[in-house]
Amino acid sequence: MMSRMISSLKPCASNGLCLEPRTIHKIVFFFAIYLISVGTGGHKPSLESFGADQFDDDHSEERKKKMSFFNLWSAALCVGVLLVPLKPMAQVCVAAFIKRHLPYPSNPNELHEVSKSVKVQERLLYHTETFKFLDKAAIIEEKDSKQQDPWRLSTVTRVEEMKLLLNMIPIWLTSLPFGICVSQTTTFFIKQGVLLNRNITHQFILPPASIFSLTACGMILSVTVYDRILVPLLRRITRTERGITILQRIGIGMVFSVITMIVATIVEKKRLTVVQNNSLHGSGTMSVFWLAPQFIIVGIADGFTLVGLQEYFYDQVPDSMRSLGIAFSRLDHFYLLLAVITALNLCVYVLVTSRYSYKNVQRKAQVAVTDCYQGDQGHEIGA
């Protein structure tokens, strides 16, 4: 607030030219950060407990509500972080649905956009022809010119940001199998290492988990070679700033992930052959360094695909969703997706099993045999 009101604290001059920040700017900036930390440390720990203290433990109903309070508190904090960046996207969808019956304008320039003469913090995006049905959210009606309701009229930039999200979904989904490949390095690859000969010397045995460090070596190697050698070379060849596109970089990493699984298959076949030929010692005669190529190659794949995905989700998402976009490239969110799918599958399973009827077999009747000297040869009990 002070940087907006006091002219000497403004980062930009009156002509709009942003110069290098002065010492006073840095002092005020870091002082504000420390104030935020102090304020957060003061109210955050006490606010939740203050809210819980409003419930009377002597009443059973309030005790039950107190249990729900902590759940709702945590949920509200997460929902707020999620809904704020998604609100503009929802406005585009609602506006496009309301105006679904309107005809498309003959010229895309007739669609609503913020005037370039108006200073805006966000970057404006050009109109594209993909997902054209969303363009109706930017069609200007007579009532829109009087009162611009964001739930009825969106800018071209907002519409294009929504298109970016829709375009990202297939990329995100097709990158998930790469996470399956990478996850093998901490599961089955390590298990293979346990079964192999890990003796470096007579007194030193290599811990199985330490083999994973080769993945980091492969990633460091690939990132260094890519940044210092490949990018300058590709810039001369393609005459572009990046050398290759982000998606091409991701695709190269996926090729290396395929090579990783092929190499892992060959190594495992070799291990099984050793076990068959030497059933006494098994795969203990095979060196653990047979696993080195697959660990190094998957590290190279990480350097291309994982780093490429982080750059992609940062560069292509709307400016207000950059931190959220990077989150979707992480493997833990792939596991979260699997958890959601599994939970949905569990719900379907419960629904199906609740309607399932077990087979009702007609069991054969037992025959009761009496003493023949008592006059009965036996009779069958009806089923």
C-alpha 122/C-alpha 318 separation (Å) is: 9
Q: What pLDDT was estimated at residue 299?
A: 92
Give the residue-averaged pLDDT of 147-158.
Answer: 83
Spell 323-345 as b/e; 16+ CB within 10 A means b: ebbbebbeeeebeeeeeeeeeee
If one compares 31 and 280, the residue with the highest pLDDT of the two is 31
Residue with tokens 């969110």: 333
Q: Is the pTM of this model over 0.75?
A: no
Is residue 237 a part of any domain in this protein? Answer: yes
Is residue 6 a part of any domain in this protein? Answer: no
C-alpha 170/C-alpha 188 separation (Å) is: 28
Q: What pLDDT was estimated at residue 125?
A: 82
Q: What pLDDT was estimated at residue 361?
A: 57
Spell 53-74 as b/e; 16+ CB within 10 A means b: eebeeeeeeeeeebeebeeeee
Q: At what angle do helices 331-354 and 156-183 cross, to 10 degrees?
A: 90
- Amino acid at site 315: D
Confidence of residue 46 (pLDDT cuts 50, 70, 90): confident
Is residue 39 a part of any domain in this protein? Answer: no
pLDDT at 173 > cutoff 50: yes
pLDDT at 233 > cutoff 90: yes
Confidence of residue 381 (pLDDT cuts 50, 70, 90): very low
Q: What pLDDT was estimated at residue 316?
A: 76
Is residue 76 a part of any domain in this protein? Answer: no
Is residue 153 a part of any domain in this protein? Answer: no
- C-alpha distances out from residue 224 to 22, 105, 229, 373, 379, Å: 35, 50, 8, 101, 91
Token pair of 43 as six digits: 């109210």
103-135 confidence digits (pLDDT tens): 888 888 888 887 665 555 567 888 888 888 898
C-alpha 67/C-alpha 163 separation (Å) is: 41
C-alpha 217/C-alpha 214 separation (Å) is: 5
pLDDT at 40 > cutoff 90: no
pLDDT at 96 > cutoff 60: yes
Max mean pLDDT range (85-89, 150-154, 377-381): 150-154
C-alpha 70/C-alpha 151 separation (Å) is: 33
C-alpha 340/C-alpha 106 separation (Å) is: 44
C-alpha 180/C-alpha 169 separation (Å) is: 18
Is residue 286 a part of any domain in this protein? Answer: yes
Is residue 218 a part of any domain in this protein? Answer: yes
Is residue 260 a part of any domain in this protein? Answer: yes
3-state secondary structure the chain: CHHHHCHHHCCECCCCCECCCCHHHHHHHHHHHHHHHHHHHHHHHHHHHHHHCCCCCCCHHHHHHHHHHHHHHHHHHHHHHHHHHHHHHHHHHHHHHHCCCCCCCCCHHHCCCCCCCCCCCCCCCCCCCCCHHHHHHHCCCHHHHHCCCCCCCCCHHHHHHHHHHHHHHHHHHHHHHHHHHHHHHHCHHHHHHHHCECECCCCCECCHHHHHHHHHHHHHHHHHHHHHHHHHHHHHHHCCCCCCCHHHHHHHHHHHHHHHHHHHHHHHHHHHHHHHHCCCCHHHHCEHHHHHHHHHHHHHHHHHHHHHHHHHHHHHCCHHHHHHHHHCCCHHHHHHHHHHHHHHHHHHHHHHHHCCCCCCCCCCCCEECCCHHHCCCCEECCC
Give the residue-averaged pLDDT of 38-56.
Answer: 75
Phi, psi of 139, rounded to the nearest 5 degrees: -75, 130
Confidence of residue 145 (pLDDT cuts 50, 70, 90): low
Q: What pLDDT was estimated at residue 377?
A: 47
**Range name among 17-31, 288-302, 365-379 with the lowest pLDDT average:** 365-379
If one compares 256 and 13, the residue with the highest pLDDT of the two is 256
Quote the domain boundaries for residue 314.
Answer: 166-350
Instruction: Give the chain's domain count.
Output: 1
251-265 confidence digits (pLDDT tens): 999 999 999 999 999
C-alpha 38/C-alpha 44 separation (Å) is: 10
178-212 confidence digits (pLDDT tens): 888 888 888 888 888 888 888 887 778 888 888 88
